[in-house]
Chain A
Amino acid sequence: MAAVVAGRVEGRGRSPGRSAGTGAAELRGFRAVQRLAYTCAEEVAAQLGPGMTERDATRMQREWLRGRGVRDWFHLPFAWFGDRTAFTGFRVPLQFFPTGRRLEPGMPFILDMAPIHEGFTADIGYSGCLGLDPLHDRLLADLEAHRELILREVRERRPLRDIYEDVDRLMARQGYANRHRAYPFGVIAHKVDRVRERRWSPHVLGFGTQSLKGLASDAVHGHREGWSPLWSPYRFSDHPPTPGLWAVEPHLGFRGTGAKFEELLVVTDSRDPEESAFWLDDDLPHVRRRQEEKAA
């Protein structure tokens, strides 16, 4: 895994600042910021209590990360409580933004944040529940199958659109609704990349302008070359996985309860299946949780 990974598709001329090429050192950088984000999620989740609002939760995430040197964002932190974890009744993208919904005992919640630290981007999603809920546990357990399915099929170099449909089918078999469908363009994943650090890093509608610029430029290049930085159910995703870092976020919904994970998947152009795709980090809360359960 430490081998140098050539992330650039051959023959693709790109400005050096937006390199998808990721060496071992760069992977370390991405891993560090992903860990930082997950630590933030765990610490904020531990502090959540009855009566707190989604706005409180996002503020806590923002302050925690700012205090540790985060200056720019792929997107600002989100928090969803209760049936908003399953995006119940969402019609317009503005509904993703934090509201005054208060946390109550037994409620599920999701924290979703994408900090940029020293030019490395992370995008993570953390699902939890205030108190015990067997249904929520079941959703989290069933997400594991999706994590395995996605990695297996990316290694098989199946078209992204087909993988998306296989995830859909697995969700239907499990009895769940596909809720990542509600994200912009219905994406289950999107590419992330290094971002140039600037003194001023504004954001538009919750998204960092630097990252949006990166996505837009990828979209333009991809459009010419037949690929897309967005992994969607649409025809523009009908291509094999492109090398780079993908923030993968399958999101299950079951009536008023939703659960997701989000983490970075590294895709390379290596011929060795093990090296061709792997999760950036296997030491994450949702993975550890599964391992502990299996051990028990």
Chain B
Amino acid sequence: MSSSTDGTGGAGLEGARERWVRTGGVELCVVELGDAARPTVVLVHGYPDSKEVWAEVAGRLRDRFHVVLYDVRGHGRSTAPQPLRGGFTLEKLTDDFLAVADAVSPDAPVHLVGHDWGSVQGWEFVTVPRTEGRVASFTTISGPSLDHFGHWINDRVARPTPRRVAQLLGQGTRSWYVGALHTPALPEALWRGPLGKRWPKMVARLEKLPSGSYPTASLPTDAAHGTWLYRDNVLPRMRHPRADAFAHVPVQLITPTGDAYLSERLYDDLERWAPRLVRHTLAAKHWVPRTRPDQVSSWIAEFVTAQEEGAPARRPAPTGPYAQRFGGHLVLVTGAASGIGRATAFAFAEAGARVVAVDRDPAGVARTAEMARLVGAAEAWSEVVDVSDEQAMEKLAAKVAAEYGVVDVLVNNAGIGLTGSFMDTTTEDWKKVLDVNLWGVIHGCRTFGRQMAERGQGGHIVNTASAAAFQPSRVLPAYSTSKAAVLMLSECLRAELAGQGIGVTAICPGIVNTNITATARFAGVPEKEQQRRRAKASRAYGMRNYPPEKVADAILRAVFHDQAVVAVTPEARGLKLLSRLSPRMLRALARIEPRL
């Protein structure tokens, strides 16, 4: 029954051991990767897919786990039941799963991971009594339990407040295809005909799937057989959802926020059914096993390991509104020894991210990393680098990629202040400001942005511009120029990277209480006067007292919502508005010389 083969298709499945499991009149094609003595992770695919949808994830998990994939009956190389009608009920799919689990891991329970219909089945497996003791944990991606879904609809129909009606309509528009699949014969004809031919290109374009050997050649048959998944299960379960569909294992939920088929609201009451729920969200579309394999496999590995080793609760647990989104992400912040950079590093740390703090001040940046760990960062490191030094930045990028991984969120925040009229500003001053404020951002985007783009799994770049980017001023020519350049650079880069799922944000904070005033240079005045002006400016910024923590929160919000340009303080927002409504007023303001 067992044989070793090669070429099961898709990167990551090379050298897989293949076996066939006979159950309930069908033969299932099962492949195994990794050491069978390790904990077993079973990956179940969705519709219209075959097990190869998991190739990327399986390849990343095979060194640590015993990874098992199988083609659901009627899909891929598994045979289809005869007749098709009634052959795809959740009860029969549960039989299949138990047969596979018994074959690959007879002694220990398996860790189950499901995507799309694999997850719908998974919910059935972990909520029926007969699988108790055979499943150790369940990771669900883009596939609700049909019973929970039934209750979700019933609750909203029974008490239709405006919000609940909106939620119903939202999911209704996403589920149109479910109705279409109930039409007799037509879907099969389409799949075996034009749709089957065009689907790979359609899905690659709409869902931004990376090119590769997926979907496999069996797609038309998979999709045609798979329509019976819907016809055999959806209506019966919607009409009579089980009242006892409680999960008997720990559940981890991964929700792609850009899913075109499933609303995030479906999982609002999920704690009712799965009390030990761990939530993650991912800025991606439906096929995350293909588009975000790094993040998905790292969450699976973390969750499975936690269950195997007795769930060592991390202290402190990630908190805040963004913990689900940034938990485990790798975030690099420049200028992290003080001010906005430091507050941003702490905010990401609090959400459970892994933080790399970069600055040229060794003591300050070490302190940032230390406090980041205390406040909840999964891991935190400090790196001493001058962002204006191209070679140093390239070395840093290579080191970060090798030791910590590819950066998910890059915050180019390092900047210095310089005031003084244009005539007082020397070329040296210009060079210094542009080197840090503009070239620092360019180096950051070139090195880390390139890694992000090459990985092809999305990401986000935040560049700290300034309200001075749209408010001209006679006393800030060099600083404003550098920040306006950063703003435009961010906009251009945003356009360039949009197709790769990488967002770019320019943050325009305004007057924020940081030490930029204490380190700023005042061009054209003697040293003593410099110090007096610094003290005075610091005091003025202190009186304004807008905390950098609020800017940090704005940065997390901007990444979460993928905003393009964010003005933070009220004055910055006002100036941004004025720059559109009445640029002449800004020009008039620019002529004022503040007394310091």
A residues in contact (CB < 8 Å) with B: 106, 133-135, 138, 165, 168-169, 172-175, 177, 181, 233, 254-256
Contacts and interface: CB of A to CB of B under 8 A. Distances in A.
Contacts of A255: 346-347, 350, 375, 549
A233 to B, nearest CB: 7
B427 to A, nearest CB: 32
Contacts of B319: 256
13 contacts: A134-B374, A138-B371, A138-B374, A165-B539, A172-B515, A173-B364, A174-B367, A177-B549, A233-B542, A233-B543, A254-B375, A255-B375, A256-B319
Interface of B: 315-316, 319, 338, 342, 346-347, 350, 364, 367-368, 371, 374-375, 515, 518, 538-539, 542-543, 545, 547, 549
Contacts of A135: 316, 374-375
Contacts of A168: 542
Contacts of A177: 547, 549
B515 A254 contact: no
B378 to A, nearest CB: 15
A118 B43 CA distance: 75
A233 B547 CA distance: 16
Contact of B367 (A133, A165, A175): A175
Contacts of B316: 106, 133, 135
Contact of A175 (B342, B347, B350, B543): B342
A175 B538 CA distance: 17
Given A135-B374, A135-B375, A173-B364, 12 more contacts: A106-B316, A134-B315, A135-B316, A165-B538, A165-B539, A175-B367, A175-B368, A177-B547, A233-B543, A254-B371, A255-B346, A256-B319
Q: Which 7 residue pairs spanning A and B have beta carbons closest together?
A: A135-B374, A175-B371, A134-B374, A175-B367, A255-B350, A138-B374, A175-B342
Contacts of A174: 367
Contacts of B538: 165
Nearest to A132: B315
B346 A175 contact: yes
Contacts of A169: 515, 518
Nearest to B538: A165
A178 to B, nearest CB: 9
- Which among A168, A177, A233, A255 has the highest number of chain B CB atoms within 10 Å? A255
A173 B367 CA distance: 9
B591 to A, nearest CB: 29
Nearest to B315: A134
Interface class of chain B by DSSP: helix
A165 B545 CA distance: 13
A110 B338 CA distance: 27
Contact of A172 (B338, B346, B347, B371): B338
A181 B350 CA distance: 24
Contacts of A134: 315, 374
Nearest to B350: A255
A173 B375 CA distance: 17
B131 to A, nearest CB: 35
Contacts of A172: 338, 515
B319 to A, nearest CB: 8
Contacts of A133: 316
Contacts of B346: 175, 254-255
A168 B371 CA distance: 18
A94 B543 CA distance: 22
Contacts of A175: 342, 346, 367-368, 371
A173 B545 CA distance: 17
Contacts of A173: 338, 364, 367
Best-surrounded residue of A134, A172, A175, A233 (most CB of chain B within 10 A): A175
Contacts of B375: 135, 254-255
Contacts of B350: 255
A106 B346 CA distance: 19
Nearest to A162: B535
Contacts of A165: 538-539, 542
Nearest to B363: A173
B375 to A, nearest CB: 6
A233 B374 CA distance: 30
B409 to A, nearest CB: 18
Contacts of B545: 181
Contacts of B364: 173
A169 B543 CA distance: 14
A233 B542 CA distance: 9
Contacts of A181: 545
B8 to A, nearest CB: 48
A233 B544 CA distance: 12
Residue with the greatest number of chain A CB neighbours at <10 A, chosen from B319, B368, B371: B371
B337 to A, nearest CB: 9
A165 B549 CA distance: 19
A175 B542 CA distance: 16
A133 B375 CA distance: 10
Contacts of B367: 173-175
A175 B364 CA distance: 9
Interface centre among A133, A173, A174, A233, by most chain B C-beta atoms within 10 angstroms, is A173
A165 B543 CA distance: 12
A250 to B, nearest CB: 16
A168 B515 CA distance: 11
Nearest to A181: B545
Nearest to A106: B316
Nearest to B317: A106
B534 to A, nearest CB: 12
